[in-house]
A and B are shown apart, each in its own frame.
Chain A
Amino acid sequence: MGTRTRLRVTTALAVFTLAATACTGGGSGAGGTGGAVGKGGSLPRNETLYTTGTQWGPPANYNPLRNWDHATGTKGLVYETLFHFDPNEGKLTPWLAESGSWTDDKTYEVKLRQGVTWADGKPLTAEDVAYSYGLGKIEASAFHSLWSWLSDAKAVDDTTVRFTFKEARYQEWDFTLYGQPVVPEHVWSSRTDEDILNGVNDKPVGTGAYKLKSKSQDRVVWERRDDWWGTKALSMTPAPRYIVDVSNPSNEVVIGQLGQGQLDLSNNFLPGASSLVKSKKVVSYYDKAPYMLSANTAWLVPNTTKKPMDDAAFRRALAASVDTGKIVKGVYGDLVKPASPTGLLPQWEQFDDKALIAEKGFTHDAAAAKKELADAGYKDENGDGFVENKDGSTLSLKLAVPSGWTDWMEAAKVIAAGAKDAGIKVSTEFPDQNALNEQRGKGDFDLVINNERQLSSTPWTYYDYIFQLPVQKQQNTVNFGRYENEEAWKLVQELGGVKTDDTAGMKAAVSKIQDIQLTEMPIIPLWYNGLWSQSTTGTWTNWPSDAAGAPKTAPALWRNWLELGGFETLTQLKPAK
């Protein structure tokens, strides 16, 4: 009896286990297996590049038009653009296009390369390009604004595309030329608008050097196409046969995997990166501070619709109160560089008007900040060590940075301490990132830090970011501080209309803008964020660095960076023997 019951118990439990494990699992293999590796096999280590630091979750889609959430490499490895941009030369490099030129003030013609084919063997034609740019006409498309100044994109013959403009925005056009992916019309034309904008596109057909091999919850695997056009036309071949991009695990895990040589390239921000470089565990672009190239500027954004941030004198005082040096050293361990008073990235240094900066630029100086405040009529009436508003009401500001962004949280504390030394009361708060984005969009904040504008082909993108008008109900991308200055915006548009090869004209236009920027301080530059990049040399060598003979391209696979040198980096890698 005893044994019998026990037997029955175990049977019941066994059934329970079976019922619960009856569903099988495993990753979802995408189409197109083949090559040396079947499903469930492992990739040969010496032909595979492992990367991380670009994805925060499962690869979502392979739709190049969804430039904000497609899987890393969708644009750049599979879909390509007409041009790339070389930040070192400051020039567009022809990619799918053989050449492009302005035939008159409002017409731009692109000549395509011969012999470029899609992954399905069909040739790339001018029709494909016209079609791809035409997709912006769909109202819900993210690049719909292009068509407010472009009037037509037409294929003149098989290899010529003619773009006609309502308004020639030369600077923005260059930016578009290396930003907009080209998709195959013969595959996409049968799709509905909704599918074009929101489809998952999990069998992507591109012109690029890679095709999708497989995907799973935490990684995406790309496989090299040996018939890629660039091998002949550009004499370039990306070295890794496979690229495996892994979603970001925690920093600890990344450091562990770098230490064991399982990862080749990490584009994460790792707080201890300098010690990893010093101990020779990883290599970075510079072997001493700041270790990294600069990728974008971090700004302190005051909400200019609120008192006292609507007062330029107050903003200038706030700018002078920030001890950026302390942030660079104390918070980042010299992984970043302090920004110039204009905030233009080092790559754009030639556009900084040095004489103007010497005259009107600000530096960290608590005494000067105090003086500026006193002159403008901000006094400390009640003797609590903090100034009040001009009308005597309490002045207390909140600086909000996203919770969990530890480096920014520390930086915010330094900013608050600096403000306190100058007599301005700033407290920090750390809301959830999404909640903060929403408040920022609505203009419901005092101070935030933001670095969303990356390096690009032109400083115009930065001025567009600072001054763009009109201010909308929701500010999603630019001018979060809702600063309204018609004159400045006019100057920015003038800069946008300067031809991109007219450096002198650009400098003159930028100088006028910087004059307003330095006196008005609509937004306060803090530091240059690094192009975070740590590589190991166990499997792949010849990483970009400032050493003689090393490549000088960007060692990053972040969104839009493949066109800024990231892809070229892949072609320069060498297997470690």
Chain B
Amino acid sequence: MRRYFARKLLIYGLTFVVAVTVNWMIPRFMPGDPVSAMVARARVSQPEAAEAMRTYYNNLFGFDEPLWQQYLHFWGALLQGDFGISIFVFPTPVGDVLLDALPYTLGLMIPAVLLSWFVGNWIGALSARRKVLDNTVLPAGYLLTAMPYMWIAVILAWALGAKAGWFPISGGYSLDIQPGWSGDFVLDALHHWVLPFLSLFLVALGGWAIGMRNMIIYELESDYSSYLSALGAPQRLIRRYAFRNAVLPQVTGLALQLGVLVAGALVTEIVFAYPGLGSLILAAIQNQDFFLLQGAFLFIVIGVLIANFLIDIVYVVVDPRTRTGMAGGTS
């Protein structure tokens, strides 16, 4: 048990270091100079004033140090939870900007990931047993899973928002309401949440349903199922075993899907002008805001790593083989 987790933690630690390093490198070696952009935006005509400004910002963002120092400082600041100052929302700290956006992204992602996984598995398992259902679920699942997120988002916005008028098609909440913990706001936010959520949910759902259906059919044809039915065990019992075996790869798949879903959530947010990380990342790119981009990617990397780690723990619980594997070697 301890060895298993130690190994996992080591892998995650290494991943994190590499991710942070790449994250630090990309903006610094990209063409374009954010300080120049800032000075240019300030419309300063006098060379002395422009120079003074440039020096000030270079110093503020630490661009005037040698690269290795910048790198070490970056780590030092990171471990204190300091992601630097945003250029585009100057002078707000990046952490604050991101924390404002984070609830919206998580509020989309977590329900979309978990609900699509549960519902998808359930539909998939059902359709493995019922011909009629199978004939509808399979094509629908393939159709859904092949859809690009933004496309289904646009379709939903058009059909349920613009045409039917049931749901608002942009923003995280109405123009006339202020965020806070009141019933009005929560209802309004939920109302705005439906369409972006649906677009993520539907695309992910298709994949899970197909995967589960195929796994169940595979398990039902495996040796232990045949053996059990030869012994005269009831179908229900066989199915239960099949289901439990079929769920394992789905859990692994969940870990893999997370990364993809993050990307999907970003695109979806941009389509619906949803005030989460996705819209922020787009704005940060458009405004050459190194620090905001770095911070956003770090948030995502950390999020995906944590989620994967949690899934590892879940795996230990649901798959007895990992447990015996941990204890294995010492008889």
Complex contacts, A50 vs chain B, CB 8 Å: 175-176
Contact B44 A221 (CB under 8 A): no
Q: How far is the CA of A41 from the CA of B31 in the complex (A)?
A: 45
- Shortest Cβ distance from residue B147 to the other chain A in the assembled complex, whole angstroms: 20
- Shortest Cβ distance from residue B261 to the other chain A in the assembled complex, whole angstroms: 13
Complex contacts, B244 vs chain A, CB 8 Å: 2, 5
Cβ 8 A contact of B99, one of A23, A216, A452: A23
Contact (A69, B90) CB under 8 Å given A29-B180, A139-B52, A145-B45: yes
Complex contacts, B283 vs chain A, CB 8 Å: 56-58
A27 within 8 A of B: yes
Complex contacts, A41 vs chain B, CB 8 Å: 177-178, 180, 182, 184
B106 within 8 A of A: yes
Q: How far is the CA of A56 from the CA of B49 in the complex (A)?
A: 26
Cβ 8 A contact of B178, one of A16, A42, A256: A42
A12 within 8 A of B: yes
Q: How far is the CA of A435 from the CA of B92 in the complex (A)?
A: 24
Complex contacts, A189 vs chain B, CB 8 Å: none
Q: Within residues 244 to 302 of chain A, which ones have a CB less than 8 A from any CB in chain B? A: 244, 246, 249-250, 253, 256-257, 262-263
Q: How far is the CA of A56 from the CA of B273 in the complex (A)?
A: 12
Contact (A140, B89) CB under 8 Å given A40-B178, A473-B47: no
Contact (A434, B47) CB under 8 Å given A25-B99, A68-B42, A217-B275: no
Contact A477 B45 (CB under 8 A): yes
A152 within 8 A of B: no
Contact B103 A48 (CB under 8 A): no
Most chain A CB atoms below 10 A, which of B102, B170, B182, B317: B170
| Closest B residue by C-beta to A464 | B45
A437 within 8 A of B: yes
Complex contacts, B180 vs chain A, CB 8 Å: 26-27, 29, 38-41
Contact B88 A57 (CB under 8 A): yes
B91 within 8 A of A: yes
Contact A25 B104 (CB under 8 A): yes
Interface segment out of the listed B9-17, B32-40, B64-72, B128-136? B32-40
Q: How far is the CA of A199 from the CA of B48 in the complex (A)?
A: 21
| Closest A residue by C-beta to B37 | A434
Q: Within residues 114 to 171 of chain B, which ones have a CB less than 8 A from any CB in chain A? A: 114, 162, 169-171
| Closest B residue by C-beta to A26 | B179
Q: How far is the CA of A272 from the CA of B103 in the complex (A)?
A: 35
Complex contacts, B32 vs chain A, CB 8 Å: 432, 434-435, 438
Contact B175 A5 (CB under 8 A): no
B288 within 8 A of A: yes
Contact B240 A29 (CB under 8 A): no
B310 within 8 A of A: yes
Complex contacts, A29 vs chain B, CB 8 Å: 178-180
- Shortest Cβ distance from residue A5 to the other chain B in the assembled complex, whole angstroms: 6
Q: Within residues 170 to 228 of chain B, which ones have a CB less than 8 A from any CB in chain A? A: 170-172, 174-182, 184-185
Q: How far is the CA of A433 from the CA of B314 in the complex (A)?
A: 47
Q: How far is the CA of A331 from the CA of B39 in the complex (A)?
A: 32
B298 within 8 A of A: no
| Closest A residue by C-beta to B289 | A57
Q: How far is the CA of A555 from the CA of B100 in the complex (A)?
A: 32
Q: How far is the CA of A531 from the CA of B330 in the complex (A)?
A: 79
B286 within 8 A of A: yes
Contact (A217, B92) CB under 8 Å given A48-B176, A139-B52, A249-B171: no
Contact B90 A61 (CB under 8 A): yes
B41 within 8 A of A: yes
Q: How far is the CA of A66 from the CA of B92 in the complex (A)?
A: 14
Contact B43 A68 (CB under 8 A): yes
| Closest A residue by C-beta to B53 | A140
Q: How far is the CA of A60 from the CA of B104 in the complex (A)?
A: 20
Contact A216 B100 (CB under 8 A): yes
- Shortest Cβ distance from residue B165 to the other chain A in the assembled complex, whole angstroms: 9
Contact A476 B174 (CB under 8 A): no
Cβ 8 A contact of A61, one of B39, B91, B176: B91
Complex contacts, B287 vs chain A, CB 8 Å: 56-57, 434
Q: Within residues 221 to 258 of chain A, which ones have a CB less than 8 A from any CB in chain B? A: 221, 244, 246, 249-250, 253, 256-257
Contact A437 B40 (CB under 8 A): yes
B4 within 8 A of A: no
B interface SS class: helix
- Shortest Cβ distance from residue A28 to the other chain B in the assembled complex, whole angstroms: 7
B101 within 8 A of A: yes
B76-117: CB near A (< 8 Å → 1, else 0) gives 000000000010111110001101111110110010001000
Contact B175 A476 (CB under 8 A): no
Complex contacts, B47 vs chain A, CB 8 Å: 472-474
A37 within 8 A of B: yes
A577 within 8 A of B: no
Cβ 8 A contact of A24, one of B103, B174, B275: B103
Complex contacts, B37 vs chain A, CB 8 Å: 434, 437-438
Cβ 8 A contact of A42, one of B45, B177, B313: B177
B300 within 8 A of A: no
Cβ 8 A contact of B40, one of A45, A249, A438: A438
A357 within 8 A of B: no
Complex contacts, B103 vs chain A, CB 8 Å: 23-26
A327 within 8 A of B: no
Q: Within residues 156 to 205 of chain A, which ones have a CB less than 8 A from any CB in chain B? A: 194, 198-200
- Shortest Cβ distance from residue A220 to the other chain B in the assembled complex, whole angstroms: 11
- Shortest Cβ distance from residue B37 to the other chain A in the assembled complex, whole angstroms: 5
Complex contacts, A39 vs chain B, CB 8 Å: 178, 180, 182
- Shortest Cβ distance from residue B176 to the other chain A in the assembled complex, whole angstroms: 5
Contact A256 B169 (CB under 8 A): yes
A211 within 8 A of B: no
Contact (A244, B175) CB under 8 Å given A25-B103, A198-B90, A478-B45: yes
- Shortest Cβ distance from residue B40 to the other chain A in the assembled complex, whole angstroms: 5
Q: How far is the CA of A200 from the CA of B91 in the complex (A)?
A: 6
| Closest A residue by C-beta to B189 | A26
B234-249: CB near A (< 8 Å → 1, else 0) gives 0000001000100000
A214 within 8 A of B: yes
Q: How far is the CA of A200 from the CA of B317 in the complex (A)?
A: 49
B46 within 8 A of A: yes
Q: A12-B314, A250-B170 are in contact. List 7 more A-B contacts (CB 8 A).
A: A27-B180, A28-B100, A39-B182, A57-B283, A144-B46, A217-B97, A435-B32
List the 5 shortest-distance A-B pairs measured between CB atoms, nearest first: A40-B180, A25-B103, A40-B182, A27-B179, A144-B49
For this complex, 7 residue pairs linking A to B, each with C-beta atoms less than 8 Å apart, are A9-B318, A40-B185, A43-B176, A68-B43, A253-B171, A434-B32, A477-B43
Could you tell me which A residues sit within 8 Å of B by CB distance? 2, 5, 8-9, 12-13, 15-17, 19-21, 23-29, 37-43, 45, 48, 50, 56-61, 66-69, 139-142, 144-145, 148, 194, 198-200, 214, 216-219, 221, 244, 246, 249-250, 253, 256-257, 262-263, 432-435, 437-438, 441, 452, 468, 472-474, 476-478
